[in-house]
Structure 1
Amino acid sequence: MVVTLQELQMYRNFDELASDVLDLAKEIMPDKLIYLTSFSEKEQIILKLSNIDTSILLTEGMVINLNETVCNRVDFDENQPLIYEDIREETCPDDLRNRLEEVNINSYLGIPISLVNGGKFGTLCVAHYEESRFDEKSIKLLQRIARMFSYYLDLERFAFRDSLTELYNRHYLSKYFEDHSKTGGVIFFLDLDGFKKVNDIHGHDTGDLVLKEVALRLQTFVNEHNDAFAVRLGGDEFLIHFSQISNKEEMSKRAENILNFLSTWDSEYQLSASIGITPYPVNNNITLKTLLKNADNALYRAKAAGKNTYRFF
């Protein structure tokens, strides 16, 4: 799973450490532009530049289609850098050469930054408007800096992620609500129907596999909605948060889609889900504790209505 920009903004001292990473890299290659990027599912974000006053046409916060970036061609599987010392002389695809020339980059070095779980975070990049020579010692030093930065990222991720499913956890939800409670949104509180029987009959190891599969399906669902994220609250309780308040018809449609996602299993598992839905308005004074209580109340009524359904608070 990728690290979102929203998640990065919650990390302690992220901005300060990102600046330190660029400063260290700048000591190794003082005459070049150094920058950090992160990947989402479909886009690359330029997080931070070593200096703003440059003839290279990149800016902090720039968002680029991932399929159109040079960084997406870095070899993450083998953890190898991508090196173009002079794109006018390199045998690189014409579309890539054109994109580099558009931002006035003639030499490029991209170092992959990966997470412990194998996910791609982004890249540590070096760029210059003229041809450059990247010596092996400097490249290895930059790789060490990128690796140390990835250790920091993993430590921060663990604070906000559920260790079993890698969905967000209660701590992330609390921090999100602390920062965004006035912007409004919708909470879907989910509980699995029949999960206790899975544990009783097949054992807790199988139960854990089921929870991971549920998380995968929920993550697939939220990836289709730019305003959503999924949380494992604990046990077989999950939550989906939408930051945009849609009409009741749209919320019902989303709930039905989730129920469909979670109702198809092998015949040995008799599983489904029930959902309690509670919207909260912009500029509200409601607490997260009250919201969860309201959503739980709606969830209880969905269970009482026969399960595999949803109810609004």
Structure 2
Amino acid sequence: MTPTDSAAARRLRAIERLHALDRAGDPALTALTRVASFVVGGGAAAVHLIDDEVQHRVAATDAPLGEHPREDSMCKLVVDGERRIVCEDATADSRFAYSSFVQGDAPVRFYASTPVRATDGTVVGSLCTWDIEAREIGDEHVRRLEDLAEQVATLLELRQVASELGHAASHDPLTGVLNRTMLDDRLAHAFARRMRRDCDVLVVVVDLDGFKAINDTLGHDTGDVVLKTVASRLQTATRAEDTVARLGGDEFAVVAELQPDSDGESILVARIESGLSEPAEYGGELRPLRASVGAALAEPGDDVRAALARADQAMYARKRERR
């Protein structure tokens, strides 16, 4: 059976929504495959996620993880048909004649697979078991396999919910950069690493100039656009290992670990100032962005509050210079 475009599209969206391909090797998923193997009396077992081109084996017992062409997958019949398949001897079943898994010196013979469904009913993959020995299993074994497939789906959903909650707790909901709580945590960890790595910790504070006027004259929706633009430009100007966070309101901060006595501070600050000096489109036209940038290296003995205060003072000094 060939899946309809709508079914294939729903499956791809569900796999993406669950970030299911990121769960490869998940210990809990692997444990469920071990139980599946036990339920059917031994052999290999796996969780397969199938998109429009590839079968992704994200958890398995007695089989390697990895990818396989969809066109050769036995489980594509389960996913496309959205129903279980139990086969005593796949080598004698014409439905699998196309697959390399039932050919060669050690072909798959026993095969039992059942769909894994997301909460909206979309089939995203399969929980399958197989062996090179032919055998039968009873209806009760099949029902237990289906129970396990439900547990696989539940686990994928719970993993995604936990990920979303973790992201919400650590990120600013408007701009997507880290929030103040995570900034404090990252800065504290940077202080701890400073002792081991002999590095400097640079704190940069960015404050938007005239932001209240933007909100008052152009509206808060436009102000939100400006904040998102600034966050994006800060991420572009900094390195992947640097921390970009929103302190609140129209203030942002950057934390960077630098080699002592290097020109890393001046380079980073110059990149930030250059990025924020370019006009941005908001309020229906291209307008200037104005921001004051202050940077300070944390001193020995500084805690999080002291380091931020030092950079904050530098930012206000810069703001006074520009008036």
TM-score range, shorter chain: 0.5 to 0.7
The amino acid that maps onto 2:247 is L
The amino acid that maps onto 2:276 is L
Query: Matched residues in 1 for 2:100 and 2:151: separation?
Result: 26
Query: Matched residues in 1 for 2:264 and 2:169: separation?
Result: 33
Q: Give 1:149's aligned residue.
A: 159
Query: Gapped runs of 5+ residues in structure 2?
Result: 1-25, 48-57, 71-78, 80-95, 102-115, 119-124, 133-141, 195-200
Q: Give 1:212's aligned residue.
A: 228
Query: Matched residues in 2 for 1:165 and 1:288: separation?
Result: 23
Distance 1:254 1:19, change over 3 A: same
Query: Matched residues in 2 for 1:125 and 1:298: separation?
Result: 58
Contact 2:243 2:256 in 1 (8 A): yes
Query: Matched residues in 2 for 1:219 and 1:33: separation?
Result: 43
Query: Gapped runs of 5+ residues in structure 1?
Result: 1-17, 36-47, 59-68, 74-80, 91-110, 114-123, 308-313
Query: Matched residues in 1 for 2:240 and 2:206: separation?
Result: 20
Q: Give 2:256's aligned residue.
A: 242
Distance 1:231 1:145, change over 3 A: same
**Structure 1 residue 274 and structure 2 residue 292: aligned?**
yes
Contact 2:246 2:253 in 1 (8 A): yes
SS of match in other structure, 1:285: coil
Instruction: Please give the per-residue CA displacement for 1:223-264, whole angstroms capped at 9, x wherever unaligned.
Output: xx2321210010110011113346453321221211221222
User: Shift in Å at residue 148 of structure 1?
Assistant: 1.4
Query: Matched residues in 2 for 1:147 and 1:55: separation?
Result: 24
Contact 2:187 2:255 in 1 (8 A): no
User: Shift in Å at residue 29 of structure 1?
Assistant: 5.2
Q: Give 2:31's aligned residue.
A: 23
Query: Matched residues in 2 for 1:226 and 1:129: separation?
Result: 43
Query: Matched residues in 1 for 2:245 and 2:67: separation?
Result: 33
**Structure 1 residue 255 and structure 2 residue 269: aligned?**
yes
TM-score scaled by length of structure 2: 0.55
The amino acid that maps onto 1:241 is V
SS of match in other structure, 1:293: helix
Match of 2:175 among 165, 170, 177: 165
Query: Matched residues in 1 for 2:126 and 2:294: separation?
Result: 45
Query: Matched residues in 1 for 2:186 and 2:263: separation?
Result: 26
User: Shift in Å at residue 156 of structure 1?
Assistant: 1.4
Q: Give 2:307's aligned residue.
A: 291
The amino acid that maps onto 2:221 is D
User: Shift in Å at residue 126 of structure 1?
Assistant: 8.9
Contact 1:19 1:50 in 2 (8 A): no
Q: Give 2:243's aligned residue.
A: 229
Q: Which moved more, 1:149-158 or 1:249-258?
A: 249-258
CA RMSD, Structure 1 to Structure 2 (Å): 4.4
Q: Which moved more, 1:242-251 or 1:268-277?
A: 242-251
SS of match in other structure, 1:262: helix
Task: Specify which structure has the higher proportion of helix.
Answer: 2
Divergent runs of 4+, >4 A: 18-22, 29-35, 48-51, 124-131, 135-141
TM-score scaled by length of structure 1: 0.56
Structure with larger Rg? 2
SS of match in other structure, 1:168: coil
Query: Matched residues in 2 for 1:167 and 1:287: separation?
Result: 22
Contact 1:187 1:240 in 2 (8 A): yes
